[in-house]
A and B are shown apart, each in its own frame.
Chain A
Amino acid sequence: MIGFDLTEELLSHQKMAREFAEKEIIPYAAELDRRPGTVFDWNIVRRFAKTGLLGLNVPKEYGGLGVDMLTAVIVAEEIGTACLGIMSAAAGNWLATTCLKHVGTENQKRRYFPMCCGENAGLAALALTEHDAGSDMAGIKTLATRKGDHYILNGAKTFITNAGIANFYIVFATSDPQKRHGGLSAFIVDGDSPGLTLGTVEDKLGLRSSQVGTLIFKDVKVPAENLLGAENTGFLIAMQTLDMSRPCLGGAAVGVSRAAYEIALSYARERKQYGRPIIENQGISFMLADMATEIEAARLLTWKAAWLIDQGMDSTKASSMCKVFATEMAESICSRAIQILGAHGYTSYWPVEKYYRDAKAMAIYEGTNQIQRMIIASML
């Protein structure tokens, strides 16, 4: 298998993503990061929709780009170089469509995939987290009660990316909180369902162009045919979905690290102190050498996890490893890039302080890095 040349097809997706990032994300990233308040900018969705990226992993027969995981990771890296905040809107879709792709019935796919595809594509989201159930997913209290040919959902989901702006949500609820892991089920809930409302929208340190908020369910009626998989299989569905989405998060972390590193490198070559470019000091050039090495290592880890997924193999450990390694690297590389730029790096004139704020979130969402370590440790 060993061989790192990208195929023509991979290269063409990489090029498409790179051009999209340059033309349709970078010009807006700083402005959206600094806007006051939390109003979502719908132009983000329109721009993504034009390229089909909201349906990146939706199979072609349902109108998506239908790429495999390795391609998705390569696309994620390119978009990650531009803005992790803007990217979050699309990443919310990728989470939801990954889930639907693997457990959805034909009817569910026919109905919901097109909402993420084509020129009019909109957003989707995956809703797991609750006030009392963050890392401990088994603590979910949102209740799903079967009534005839419907389920009735009651509860609240917190910190949901694309909350309030998605066409549909994949929601994890329990038939009985006492059953913990064994009582969880996953449902597709239409964004315009009566009784579903948007609560607080979070004002965040980074990812400021991404809408993250609370979803409140008050007697929300969900047709029984919108149950994903079977009753009480929600835990497996959630684990699998997250396992398969983590390599993209790794890819995005490699992307933001690359962007920070490239700025630091060219700055270190230009900036002169004591009569010579600062890169001529080993203190600086070794920092850059480490950054370049780590980026390469993280990229290979994410590719390996993606490759395992594409082979249909268990990727749990590799996915968690790439998530931990790449996201912690991203935070640390952004921090070192700021250091190399000195005071300039600490100002909003340069994008590295924004990269740093954005990158921090990645160690928290899709399972905190402590939880990833628990997964890795359980598989040693």
Chain B
Amino acid sequence: MIYKNIGQRIQKAREEAGLSQEELATKLGLTQAALSNYELGKRRLYLANIEQIARELNKPLNYFLEDTVETIKTNEKKAQDETILEISKLLSELPLEERKNILEYIQWRKEKLK
């Protein structure tokens, strides 16, 4: 997963720099197949590899790593959003009186957590 995300970033940065896989591979001293495997996330990328690629493509190291972190963050966010979605879906199926009770309960919980 991690390598796939980093690989996509490498491809994006390479294309932005207007380089073909072959051109970047030559600069890095790699074969085109090896770079292609990096971009596809099939080969293990060590930090040193990423640092070298970052230098060649003139990007900060974080450009390649933050993506991984971002994906994790969005996954975490998504999980939260899904619970909210689920709650509102179930709530809408309840009669008004019940919905009011639950609203009160949520307000009470929120008060308690303060």
- Please give, as numbers and ranges, the residues of chain A lying within 8 Å of B43 by CB-CB distance: 312-314
- Main secondary structure, interface of B, reads helix
- Please give, as numbers and ranges, the residues of chain A lying within 8 Å of B106 by CB-CB distance: none
Interface 1/0s, chain A 210-244, versus B by CB < 8 A?
00000000000000000001101101110110000
In the complex where A182-B66, A233-B65 touch, is A316 in contact with B51 (Cβ < 8 A)? no
Interface window among B17-25, B67-75, B80-88, B93-101: B67-75
State in angstroms the CA–CA spacing of A102 and B68 once bound together. 19
Contact (Cβ within 8 A) B66 A375: no
Taking residues whose C-beta sits less than 8 angstroms from the other chain, chain A's interface range is 20 to 34
- Please give, as numbers and ranges, the residues of chain A lying within 8 Å of B90 by CB-CB distance: none
Chain A contacts with B in 170-207, Cβ cutoff 8 A: 180-182
B102 at the interface (CB under 8 A from A): no
- Please give, as numbers and ranges, the residues of chain A lying within 8 Å of B51 by CB-CB distance: 230
A143 at the interface (CB under 8 A from B): no
A82 at the interface (CB under 8 A from B): no
Contact (Cβ within 8 A) B47 A232: no
Contact (Cβ within 8 A) B2 A316: yes
Contact (Cβ within 8 A) A102 B42: no
Task: List the A residue with the shortest CB-CB distance to B75.
Answer: A378
Task: List the B residue with the shortest CB-CB distance to A308.
Answer: B44
State in angstroms the CA–CA spacing of A312 and B37 once bound together. 10
14 intermolecular pairs with C-beta atoms under 8 Å apart: A103-B46, A138-B72, A180-B73, A181-B72, A182-B65, A230-B47, A232-B62, A233-B65, A236-B47, A237-B47, A239-B2, A313-B43, A314-B41, A314-B43
5 nearest interchain CB pairs? Answer: A182-B69, A181-B69, A229-B47, A314-B3, A378-B1
